Amino acid sequence: MGFPIAVTVVVVLGLVLVGWARSNREATSAPRVGDHWHSTYDIYVCGGAGMGTWRSKIINETDPNGIHTHGDGLFHIHPFNSEASGDDATLGAFFRAFGGSIDDTSITLDNGETIVEGFDCGGQPAVLTVARFDAQDRDRDPQVITEDLASVRFLKNLEAFTIAFVPADEVPPKPRPERFTFLESVDPRALESNNPILDIVTTTSVAG
């Protein structure tokens, strides 16, 4: 009887240790509380074949957990707690912080504008797409993502993202050059918020 009991104890302890190691790894995966990463972003909406418009920077700085902007065209990934660290450091967390949203078909911005995919884009339906670029290697092909967009993670310091409405077979453009210029010069110690927190309006508009 002693041998089967011993084997059972070993198996149970092994499972417990595996579970503990997994949860501990997820709790400490980057970005961690206290990290301060910067990535740039831009929002692009197609308007016809080879044409489109860029949306303004998000200026609402509301941030309960540590992923925010200073109205500068940058994501400041600075987790204050576990709600914005590791696997929870996502585009969805950024949008939720200021009262906006992103899902697989639409985004809602800080001015209350909602843009929904499917409108005409040079004879093709627009598709909401996120392109992840490496700001330190801009010639590298981007990762293009069209599903589970709210869960797109921030993976390292100095990334660049274009949130775009483009045809399904089109790769979104890189963020505008000035976004990279500011990303390269930013010093987190020099950034202080002087902007008021904006009330989220409820007006909805759909591009098209």
Is residue 36 over pLDDT 60? yes
Task: Parse the chain into domains and list their residue ranges.
Answer: 31-190
Per-residue model confidence (pLDDT) at position 26: 41
Cα–Cα distance between 176 and 180 in angstroms, integer?
7
Joined together, the tokens standing for residue 71 give 């109205």
Report the alpha-carbon distance of residue 107 to residue 92 in Å, rounded. 10
Q: What tokens were used for 2?
A: 């002693």
pTM: 0.77
Looking at residue 153, the DSSP 8-state letter turns out to be B
Task: Report the pLDDT value the prediction gives residue 208, as an integer from 0 to 100.
Answer: 39
Distance in Å from the first CA to the final CA of the chain: 74
What's the whole-number average pLDDT of the chain? Answer: 82
pLDDT at 9 over 60: no
Nearest to 66 by CA among 46, 86, 40, 41: 86
pLDDT per residue as tens digits for the range 72-113? 999 999 999 999 999 999 999 999 999 999 999 999 999 999
What's the pLDDT tens digit per position in 112-162? 999 999 999 989 999 999 999 999 999 999 999 999 999 999 999 999 999
DSSP 48-116: ETTEEEEPPPP-----SSSEE--SSSEEEE--SSGGGSGGG-BHHHHHHHTT-EE-SSEEE-TTS-EEE
